[in-house]
Structure 1
Amino acid sequence: MADSTQLVPILRRRAQGPQSRGRWRAWVPTASRVISAAAVIFFLGMLPWLSNRDPAVSIFRARYSEADMTPAALEAVRQQLGLHSGPFGVFFTWLGKALTGDWGVSWVSQQPVLPTVLRALGVSLSLMVFSLIVATVVAAALSITTFRRGLAGRSDRTGGGLAAAFTSMPEFLLASLLLVVFAVGLRWFPPYGWANLSDAVLPALSMGLPAGGYMGRLFSDAVASTFSEHWVATWSVAGFSKTRLVTAVIRRSLPGITPQIGLVFVGLTAAAVAVEQVFAIPGIGRTTLSAAQSQDLPMLQAGVIFLMFLAMFLGVSAGIVRRVLLGPALRTHALPTSVPKPPSPRRAWILPIASLSVIMILVLLGLPRDPYAVVWPRLAAPSWPIPLGADESGRDLLARISHGALDTVFVAIAVSILCFVLGIVIGMFPNAAAGLIEVKNALPPVIAGLIIAGILGPSAIGAALAITLAGWAPLAAHTAALVAEVRAQPYVQVAPMLGVGRARLMIRYVLPGVVGPVFRHAALRLPGIALALAALGFLGLGPRPPAPDWGLILAEGMPYIERAPLVVFVPAGALVLLSVFAVSLSSLTVDFRSGRGGIRRMRLRSSKNRGPRNTGPTPVVRSFEEIK
């Protein structure tokens, strides 16, 4: 404990130090962004040497699959591509040519990469525009009732159940169901292609409905919160027109949810990969996925870079829009990035409990069965021995769904633990991690899966690694927000003046208030992680056959939908139940994930020994993305 004579110079240094430290810290996020972007570009440029294979061998197999691979042929490939200059030489040569517009030649088609990728990018941008139109219409429709109640003097949110229904299914699953029902069954729309406007209807709905449902939930919550503010009642009494009041409410509500809407737009880049694959659309997502599956690394490099920069552009644009909406007067007093919600009623727990119960029943019924035994006729109809029928190989579909659920749960738990550890470690240094978090926001799990598949090939380990690489950032952002809140407490601010070092301050005072809320957040991401694993399996980036992965089971059954609909509807139904459980659970527990309780309890314990109790309100932390 420092005495009074020691406190004077400490306080003087504390008064003089913030200016110099502030100037230094202002450069840390910028440096982090630059370093992170450079690291990603370097990593992508080094992909040919990260795949544990001789690049000449990969190129030869991609170009001449039927020819004999002789040493002379491999040497000719090395000479042609300049591989003798080594990894760094090839990287800087590739980077220099890429900056001048020469992105190389496809190893498979031997066509120039850049024109191919630009054509595919144009198709994907058109699809995203159609999807955004659908999403905007859905979000506006879901918010109409909230506006009506707000103008009538009621500030409660409505449409939550309908919005949850729109967001309950991931894009790859919704695309599969729309294809089966409206293209194959009813024949209202084409099942594949990109030639007419009708070809865009089902893909745009597949991407736009989940995005619109999520945006509708966000916007309804923000509007309901705005209508509860005192100025709305004042304007109503003053006689302002409903049009002007609605316009003001929209302008007040949008800045707080713009960052989350930006994440929705970023997510469309990943959704495009799955939707384009389902409907055989020649976009950049399908092109990049094909390159990953065929180990066409030049095409994979270009596709991933364009997808990442597109996602980063959408994220930066959302930030610019937010600043414009706030205006010069409010930029220094930023609005919260989300709005507080009232506790959910007990009846709202019925939906997640019911969906989880059905999944548990399926698991228990199928556990005694063998998921690999081929003993039944191909595509056999349901009967007493096989209640859900057999798949295309004659294996028990119930057994495969059951064992696939267990495998997915175990992998999801391991991934959640890894994401939790990474989120805590990285989030404790928010300034240094700013660039990493922004790069991750532009790297959804599907894009990470494409990169990992390009290095390791499709595998269960690769899928888990891809989800881990893409899943730590929300936890890190949550950690950073909680760290800022804890460090703002008076007893923490005064601790350095009393001789507490930085390391001890972070470990003893800050970390205990962060671990609990972030751990609960990580646990709540389990269903979303399981869905992401299923998505990678569906795209062929996860476990290989005959693994009983839910996404893989769905993909294997798609060609037989007309002969045996159950081979698609059973895994699709299981995924729907898991999606409903994930979305309903995340909407119910948002108050717990904010961490308010953890901060308040920690502050009460600390106040006994470290100073007077602070009875002021604790700010709500909402800096991490919703589980989807």
Structure 2
Amino acid sequence: MISAKLALTRTFPLLSRAGALVAMIALVGLLPWLSGRDPAWSVLRAQSAEREATPEALAAIRERLGLDAGPLGLLGHWLAGLWSGDLGTSWVSGKPVLPGLLGSLGVSLTLMGGAIAVALVVAAALAARVLADASRGEVHHRSGAGAAMFTAVPEFVLGSGLMVVFAVWLRWAPPYGWAGPENLVLPAIAMGLPAGGLLGRLLQDALQSAAAEAWTRTWLVLGARRATVAAGVLRRGVPSLLPQLALVVVGLLGGAVAVEELFAVPGVGRLALGAAIAQDLPALQAALLALLVLGVLAGTVFGLAQLLLLGPALRGASIPAAAEVRARPGRVGRALPVVLGGALLIITVAGLLRDPTAVDTSLRLAAPSWAHPFGADALGRDVLARLGRGAVRTVLVAAAITAVSLAVGLVLGLLPGISGPVEVINAVPPVVAGLLTAAILGPGVFGAAAAVAAVAWAPLAAHTSALVREELATTYVRASRTSGAGGGWIMRRHVLPAVLPPVARHALLRLPGVALHLSSLGFLGLGAQPPVPEWGLLLSESMPYVERAPWAVLAPTVALAVLGAFAISVSTTCAPRPDRGRES
């Protein structure tokens, strides 16, 4: 009985993951019908914008593409094509999708390899001091603030800054294209630095936890060499980090869409973005499927690597949870959110006092001055005014998304077996969700908000599920159940009052990150549309003039960087310490 229950416990999450993945593939396969428009009409418009959409022309397209079979028949045809290696024909070019996808995939894998190399170097540099301390038997509880700063700036914002400084001002690297190895440097750094900061922070925590265990002191007392102790700490800490590496790779896939568009790199991300904007759904289906397969392969590879590092003795057993050893931030760390938040507030208030729609053609791309502290854009509009108005709009939309995500996360987190769908949704970057919603709803504020909300609930649901399991295991809840209390009464009186406050704090801490995701979709043209003053859109509109007026790019870049640093500093400073036990 116990063995059967254990087998069911292990099998159910696998089935839920498989079901969620099948649902994602079905969603991709049904995109032509979910787009809300006649697929034949989309094909006609993609091939010729001037040709009249007569019933005869539409009928001919439906017959040629087999669209009369309906959505399920179309999905079956698409899946059959996948089995035979046929990913369909582009609605725009009329050419097979597969050759172009393979070429773009090679470019993306090369870029991802460079980014992973940068990330590993950064992570190793950040964790080197912790490992050196561990080899001497010392455990210094570091806050990880240095590692956090690398994760503060999104890839497309960091890439914009790198382009202005190193490509435009210093001319050390080309700003665009994919002509040689020199074109790999800036995109790889833009993607690798945030990923390396995240890995470095996680590795610091894992190594500090391993170094705090009793066996390290025992080894040193018995005369083990420092190199041996350091190797043991790595062997103990790295396996727990490997599942996070898969998420980092998934994050690189999402970041690659923006970075490839920014640096004009012909990869899968740029292919997917162009297909979404042009409504070339067969090409978009192929690109999204490639991104999903890469994410699944990353999870599988790192899962196998974890088993190999654990060795036969621990395979099939749970890894002991590492204790939280992060130190409290110092005075500078506690003051940083106030300083950054104050800077954002000043920019917002100063911008709201100006007119963001006033156009003065004599000020086109004007440099910063006392009258216009951040200069003017390509139409002669004041950049500070547009930044201030964009901040209010972005924060309001992000607040609404956060509230919806909190409600959905709480409800779904109470359901059993939620771990599988949560893991699959966590493996979908907001940019990829934005591509899906753009294909279904079209680009716009509502589509971008729906894309971010579609993935933002998953971490909150995972947090809720973990807290519910912890609460149901407490002594007073078991006593209430023994005394005859019903499940609904226990949920209302005990579980929800204990779960709601920490999950609500978690959602509030994620609000700046939601705003950054909205800005990234705006930068890619999937979110707010002109003339709406949105931060990501402001950066996108200024990029064509980066060599002539770099200050027009730097203003929204710095604002987004400050927002990212504010999000990281708040989460580092305000995140509650894990409970050491609750008094009943």
1:460 to 2:431 alignment: no
- List per-residue Cα deviations over 1:319-345 (Å, max 9, x = no partner): 332233223333424232774423323
Shift of 1:212: 0.8
1:475 to 2:457 alignment: no
Do the aligned residues in 2 keep the contact of 1:341 with 1:591 (CA within 8 Å)? no
Match in the other structure for 1:138: 122
Rounded to whole Å, the distance in 2 between the matches of 1:70 and 1:532 is 41
CA separation of 1:524 and 1:159: change in aligned 2, threshold 3 A:
closer
- List per-residue Cα deviations over 1:572-614 (Å, max 9, x = no partner): 110111111111222223335x4x28xx5xx53xx3xxxxxxx
- 1:261-280 equivalences under 5 Å are 261-280=245-264
CA separation of 1:428 and 1:328: change in aligned 2, threshold 3 A:
farther
- 1:190-589 equivalences under 5 Å are 190-331=174-315, 332-336=317-321, 339-375=324-360, 377-431=363-417, 433-589=418-574
- List per-residue Cα deviations over 1:52-76 (Å, max 9, x = no partner): 2111111111111233333322222
Q: Aligned AA for 2:163? A: L
Do the aligned residues in 2 keep the contact of 1:142 with 1:159 (CA within 8 Å)? no
Bigger shift: residues 185-194 or 538-547: 185-194
Do the aligned residues in 2 keep the contact of 1:135 with 1:209 (CA within 8 Å)? yes
Shift of 1:104: 0.7
Rounded to whole Å, the distance in 2 between the matches of 1:140 and 1:22 is 38
Rounded to whole Å, the distance in 1 between the matches of 2:366 and 2:175 is 26
Rounded to whole Å, the distance in 2 between the matches of 1:23 and 1:499 is 30
- List per-residue Cα deviations over 1:354-393 (Å, max 9, x = no partner): 1111110011111122212213521123334333221111
Rounded to whole Å, the distance in 1 between the matches of 2:285 and 2:348 is 40
Rounded to whole Å, the distance in 1 between the matches of 2:18 and 2:150 is 37
Rounded to whole Å, the distance in 1 between the matches of 2:427 and 2:243 is 13
Match in the other structure for 1:79: 63
Q: Aligned AA for 2:305? A: V
Rounded to whole Å, the distance in 2 between the matches of 1:162 and 1:20 is 47
Shift of 1:22: 5.5
Match in the other structure for 2:173: 189
Do the aligned residues in 2 keep the contact of 1:312 with 1:439 (CA within 8 Å)? no
Shift of 1:401: 0.2
Q: Structure 2: 5+ residue runs without aligned partners?
A: none
Q: Which of 146, 158, 178 is matched with 1:174 structurally?
A: 158
Shift of 1:44: 1.4
Rounded to whole Å, the distance in 2 between the matches of 1:128 and 1:579 is 23
Q: Structure 1: 5+ residue runs without aligned partners?
A: 1-15, 608-628
Do the aligned residues in 2 keep the contact of 1:259 with 1:319 (CA within 8 Å)? yes
Shift of 1:23: 5.6
CA separation of 1:485 and 1:316: change in aligned 2, threshold 3 A:
farther
Rounded to whole Å, the distance in 2 between the matches of 1:459 and 1:473 is 23
- 1:44-55 equivalences under 5 Å are 44-55=28-39
RMSD: 2.0
Shift of 1:552: 0.4
Q: Aligned AA for 1:46? A: L
- List per-residue Cα deviations over 1:189-216 (Å, max 9, x = no partner): 2222223222211111111111111111
Q: Aligned AA for 2:303? A: G
Match in the other structure for 2:42: 58
Shift of 1:295: 0.4
- List per-residue Cα deviations over 1:374-419 (Å, max 9, x = no partner): 1352112333433322111111111100010001111111111111
Rounded to whole Å, the distance in 2 between the matches of 1:143 and 1:86 is 55
- List per-residue Cα deviations over 1:523-572 (Å, max 9, x = no partner): 00011111111111111110000111100000101111222222111111
Q: How many residue pairs end up in the alignment? A: 582
Shift of 1:476: 1.2
Match in the other structure for 1:620: none
Q: Which of 3, 7, 14 is matched with 1:30 structurally?
A: 14
Q: Aligned AA for 2:47? A: R
Shift of 1:25: 4.8
- List per-residue Cα deviations over 1:7-43 (Å, max 9, x = no partner): xxxxxxxxx8x77766655543233223212221221
CA separation of 1:27 and 1:226: change in aligned 2, threshold 3 A:
closer
Shift of 1:315: 2.3
Rounded to whole Å, the distance in 1 between the matches of 2:165 and 2:328 is 38
Rounded to whole Å, the distance in 1 between the matches of 2:170 and 2:549 is 16
Do the aligned residues in 1 keep the contact of 2:463 with 2:503 (CA within 8 Å)? yes
Rounded to whole Å, the distance in 2 between the matches of 1:248 and 1:316 is 25
Rounded to whole Å, the distance in 1 between the matches of 2:182 and 2:137 is 43
Do the aligned residues in 1 keep the contact of 2:134 with 2:229 (CA within 8 Å)? no
CA separation of 1:276 and 1:91: change in aligned 2, threshold 3 A:
same
Shift of 1:159: 8.5
TM-score by length of 2: 0.95
TM-score by length of 1: 0.88
SS at match of 1:240: coil
Shift of 1:468: 0.6
